[in-house]
Homo-oligomer: A and B are copies of this chain.
Amino acid sequence: MDQRTTGEGDPFTVLTVGNSTGTIETEPFWLDRQPVVAGVRRGHIAQVIGEVESYRDRPQLKVTSLRVLPPESVDARTLLPSVGSVDRYWETLDGWRAEIRKPRLKRVVDLFYTDDDFRRRYQECPASVRGHHAAIGGLLKHTTEVAAIARTIARAAAADTELVLAGVLLHDIGKIESYSWDGVFGHTETGSLLGHVVLGALMLDRRLAAEQPPPCTETERNILLHLLLSHHGRKEFGSPVLPMTLEAEVLHWADNASARTASVAEALSNPANFPSGIVSSGIRGLDGRRFFRGNSDWGAA
């Protein structure tokens, strides 16, 4: 919701309305139609009827009617950006998970991944609030990408692929308690105070403690906790300890590769980043870097 003034000084209001498929700006509401948008606030859910037109080469929604709905009338999650159906991610991940054969490792992973409550929350959770994979289902998509990359790196580096995969599956579990996605993406109080890295370690520690007999040895628990704690790879990025095992190193780079390339892909696909041609303006969330979206068919027909 944005109040602006024309070059001629006439004030007007433009709404940005969105659903799970994207966002679009409305036509301007001039003074005479301000009553239509009078009570609208950021985060409100509304029924909007109108027609998509084009203004200066950008799509614009001509609004016929706009009605704010009570919060509980709609499942807010259906209106947030979403990765779509998560079935294919589960299929891939569960398939790879089945390859974990070491008994105690399998047992620990399954404490979470055979728990329906966990699966339901995990498949809804975004991978970040404003950065990469910030969408319903984003965390699951990110996890699947990290798993694919980590498996490839693990083979190249001769790491323990089962342990790497377990690390991938557990490394971000803290996010389901750190993020909220009821209408807008945000941080929970717990997430703000503890951070998703440590919160994940606490969640794993608590889950293990709840199981009798212990599903793994103390050293094994430490190795897993270390994988979670060190996956950001640098203290400045919130990891209180740096990777000390090959598997932790593999996990870190796979996580980084998925997160960073997704961020760049999202920046390149956002026309708002390219106000004046094929070189973008400096992108804030990516160290102020500029991007280039020129391309070529390299002579392909």
Interface residues of A in 99-138 (CB under 8 A from B): 101-105
Interface class of chain A by DSSP: helix
B155 and A148: CB pair below 8 A? yes
Q: Tell me which of A5, A187, A264 has the highest count of chain B C-beta atoms within 10 A of its own C-beta.
A: A264
Q: Which residues of A contact B (CB under 8 A)?
A: 3, 5-13, 31, 34, 37-38, 101-105, 145, 148-149, 151-153, 155-160, 162-163, 187, 189-190, 192-195, 197-198, 201-202, 205-206, 209, 216-220, 222-223, 225-226, 229, 235-246, 249-250, 253-254, 256-258, 260-262, 264-265, 268, 278-279, 287, 289-300
A152's closest neighbor in chain B, by CB?
Answer: B152
Cβ-closest 5 pairs across A and B: A9-B11, A102-B298, A103-B299, A253-B257, A157-B261
A240 and B11: CB pair below 8 A? no
Known: A192-B279, A250-B261. A223 touches B34 (CB 8 A): no
* Closest beta carbon of chain B to A130's beta carbon, Å: 13
Say which residue of B3, B225, B268 sits within 8 Å of A9 (CB atoms).
B3
